[in-house]
A and B are shown apart, each in its own frame.
Chain A
């Protein structure tokens, strides 16, 4: 069989078309799959906490959640304020909600509020970590930490707009009065923060701060689950978050 130049070129073009068509159809077949996973990501579990600021203020001077958290997680008490480590702490509402200025609503104005890691939808601490020591857990949205991998560069502390992270400048064991043998301590040169009690969640328990609160001011659960207690309370009461304008999507809500 003799092929003319024209026939050769036509067949070459045809086979190229057929090849690229195959690629395209493969891509088209893959596209709906990624689309559904995108949708499922939108309704994935996101653990969150709602702090009832009014209820919290009922118990004057109560710091049971702070003590329970820090005792459960071997968070040291260090005298030097520059070395302080906090997973959860109390700050004046005016500093927690500094962007609101003096326009804070009634229960908050002038009152102490609890601040902790916001376990953001879009955590700024995660992409800056050079070792992958902190990450957003796909299954429940907790911003986790792997202290084994932390090299103490503190980029995450710079990135976090909430000051939720603390650095171990000194050996923390010197500041732990009653160590909890079931939980590790940290070592100097490591960053730490609240993990929403991931170790308790793994055993089906709620975070220790939620459990010990005498007035049940802390509500914990999956905000994306319409049946959850936190979803219901957020749907029925007004709540504010710290610096939502930054786009971090904080998951600690303050009920008014």
Chain B
């Protein structure tokens, strides 16, 4: 039984190696909760309830893209009766002024960064985004 030290020591080393991803996460203080929503300062509600927006904002954006550009229909009546212009610039980007709002969650879930920002520009970062 003189090998007990080696065995326990070896096990400890193996466990430490196996848990490397956890050490990595601990060292950067990562959390399983993901990035929260960065609520804009000016508005308290979005065009959809927050949960619906989080789940289906991509669908809404595609719908707005088609109604605004192709169907020449420029108003959207929200769930609370408020009427918004169907415009990325004057509605969405007036609150969410930079791509970092989108990228925080897109990065977290490993989704590609939205290409909207290649053309649509937030007021906060006009001319600064040119690659």
Contact = CB atoms under 8 A, between A and B. Distances in A.
B121 A137 contact: no
A179 interface: yes
B72 A202 contact: yes
A40 to B, nearest CB: 18
Nearest to B130: A173
A173 B89 contact: no
A183 B93 CA distance: 11
Contacts of A187: 118-119
A114 interface: no
Given A139-B72, A146-B69, A148-B69, A181 B119 contact: no
A185 interface: yes
B70 interface: yes
Nearest to A181: B123
Q: Is the interface of A mostly helix, strand, loop or mixed?
A: loop
Interface of B: 65, 69-70, 72, 74, 88-90, 93, 118-123, 126-127, 129-131
Contacts of B89: 181-184
Contacts of A198: 72
A202 B127 CA distance: 26
A157 to B, nearest CB: 19
B72 A137 contact: yes
A73 B10 CA distance: 68
Interface residue tally on A, bucketed by range = 20 to 34
B119 A202 contact: no
A89 interface: no
A176 B127 contact: yes
Contacts of B90: 182
Contacts of A185: 119, 121
B126 A184 contact: no
Contacts of B129: 173
Given A137-B72, A146-B69, A147-B119, A171 B127 contact: no
Q: Please give me the 4 A-B residue pairs with the lowest Cβ-Cβ distance, nearest first.
A: A173-B130, A184-B119, A187-B118, A179-B126
Contacts of A184: 88-89, 119-121
A80 interface: no
A77 to B, nearest CB: 13
Contacts of B93: 181
Contacts of B69: 144, 146, 148
25 contacts: A137-B72, A144-B70, A146-B69, A146-B70, A148-B69, A171-B130, A171-B131, A173-B129, A173-B130, A174-B130, A179-B121, A179-B126, A181-B89, A181-B93, A181-B121, A181-B122, A181-B123, A181-B126, A182-B90, A183-B89, A184-B119, A184-B120, A185-B119, A187-B119, A202-B72
